[in-house]
């Protein structure tokens, strides 16, 4: 049950009574409790206090930091097929790629880039990219001017194909970029306004900032509340509403060009697991052992259908937000 307290929204600046919720850490099953409040004005859901040390919540096996994209290119046939598919997705090149995509669709991160009308010379930065899977795919598809920024790695990563992932924050960059993107990393940042102001400085007129994030203006939040999987306490500091995204854009001089909802079935099975006390990485979680999970194949099929329906209704629990710097 939620409480009502006076809170100061870090996004819109509203100060007054807002709903306060107690949320448990459920990815690893620590079940440690954290307080979140939802601004009564812009509806952004945000952590009440930032934990002084986040390292316990990003262990060495954290998924975006523990895997190497090189392993996906060990088989030369698979490598060829992946390059053809990704070139087709991003640049509309080649018949083979289109055929391969029918059988092996690209990941959502890659699919979100297809709306950017990319060209290989484009200067692209991925912020909070982990070990750089998406950038590695871009590099293999022929994009030369790509760079990763990830503060949680131990040291810079330099791949044999020329890709570099810098142990840094976006605030440390100085060179102009054409596209700066955050794929499910923006919600982890404690300083979103300052971050977007820096991004605005780095982009030329007409440059694009792509942010893929969980959306609290969703059916999953309404249905599951504090058990909503995308809350991901305490790693997600901010769960943005559509209204709060508009506030962010206005404050940082961006124009929201488009919002594309791209949620999937995990918003339902993951949240249902949390409701029943099953952590995401538990042995009987659908994420790890589908056969041992509490869900039948029919239930998962229905969840996939529900995900398509809420996306069409702009009620999915995640979206790709395309923001453009004014051309002046």
At 269-282, the pLDDT tens digits run 999 999 999 999 99
**Dihedral sign, Cα of residue 63, residue 119, residue 140, residue 111:** positive
Compute the half-sphere exposure of residue 167: CA atoms within 13 Å on the CB side of its CA. 8
Long-range contacts of 154-160 (CB under 8 A, 24+ apart): 157/131, 157/132, 159/69, 159/70, 159/132, 160/70
Q: Report pLDDT for 68.
A: 74
Averaged confidence pLDDT in the chain: 91
Alpha helices in the chain (DSSP H): 63-66, 76-91, 95-103, 108-113, 133-140, 192-202, 219-224, 242-251, 266-275, 297-312
What residues does each domain of the chain span? Answer: 60-179
Is pLDDT at 328 greater than 90 in this prediction?
Answer: no
Q: State pLDDT tens for residues 150-162.
A: 988 889 999 999 9
CA atoms of 306 and 309, how far apart (whole Å) = 5
Structure tokens given for 232: 């991901």
Share of the chain above pLDDT 90, in %: 71
pLDDT at 1 over 60: no
pLDDT band at 94 (very low <50, low <70, confident <90, very high): low
Dihedral, 53, 56, 61, 67 alpha carbons, nearest 10: -10
Q: What whole-number distance in Å separates Cα of residue 190 and Cα of residue 168?
A: 15
Residue among 127, 237, 235 nearest 172 (CA)? 127
| Helices and strands in the chain, H and E counts | 10, 13
pLDDT at 235 over 60: yes
C-alpha span between 50 and 238 (Å, rounded): 11
Answer yes or no: is pLDDT of 65 > 70: no
Say if residues 70 and 136 touch (Cβ distance below 8 Å). Answer: yes
């Amino acid at each position: 049950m939620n409480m009502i307290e006076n809170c100061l929204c870090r996004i819109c600046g509203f100060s007054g009574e807002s709903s306060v919720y107690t949320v448990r850490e459920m990815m690893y099953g620590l079940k440690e409790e954290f307080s979140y409040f939802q601004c009564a004005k812009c509806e952004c859901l945000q952590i009440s206090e930032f934990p002084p040390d986040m390292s316990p919540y990003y262990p060495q096996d954290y998924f975006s930091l523990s895997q190497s994209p090189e392993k996906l290119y060990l088989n030369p046939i698979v490598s060829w097929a992946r390059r053809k598919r990704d070139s087709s997705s991003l640049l509309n090149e080649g018949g083979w790629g289109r055929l391969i995509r029918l059988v092996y669709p690209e990941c959502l991160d890659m699919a979100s880039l297809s709306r950017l009308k990319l060209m290989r010379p484009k200067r692209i930065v991925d912020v909070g990219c982990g070990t750089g899977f998406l950038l590695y795919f871009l590099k293999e598809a022929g994009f030369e001017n790509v760079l990763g920024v990830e503060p949680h790695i131990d040291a810079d990563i330099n791949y044999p194909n020329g890709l570099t992932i810098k142990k840094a924050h976006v605030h440390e960059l100085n060179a102009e970029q054409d596209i700066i993107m955050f794929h499910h990393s923006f919600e982890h940042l404690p300083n979103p306004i300052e971050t977007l102001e820096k991004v605005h400085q780095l982009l030329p007129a007409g440059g694009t900032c792509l942010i893929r994030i969980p959306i609290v203006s969703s059916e999953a939040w309404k249905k599951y509340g504090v058990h909503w999987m995308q809350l991901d306490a305490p790693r997600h500091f901010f769960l943005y509403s559509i209204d709060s995204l508009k506030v962010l854009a206005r404050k940082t001089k961006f124009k929201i060009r488009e919002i594309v909802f791209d949620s999937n079935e995990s918003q339902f099975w993951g949240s249902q697991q949390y409701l029943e006390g099953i952590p995401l990485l538990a042995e009987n979680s659908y994420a790890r052992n589908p056969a041992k999970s509490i869900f039948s194949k029919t239930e998962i099929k229905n969840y996939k259908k529900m995900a398509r329906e809420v996306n069409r209704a702009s009620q999915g629990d995640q979206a790709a937000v395309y923001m453009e710097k004014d051309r002046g």
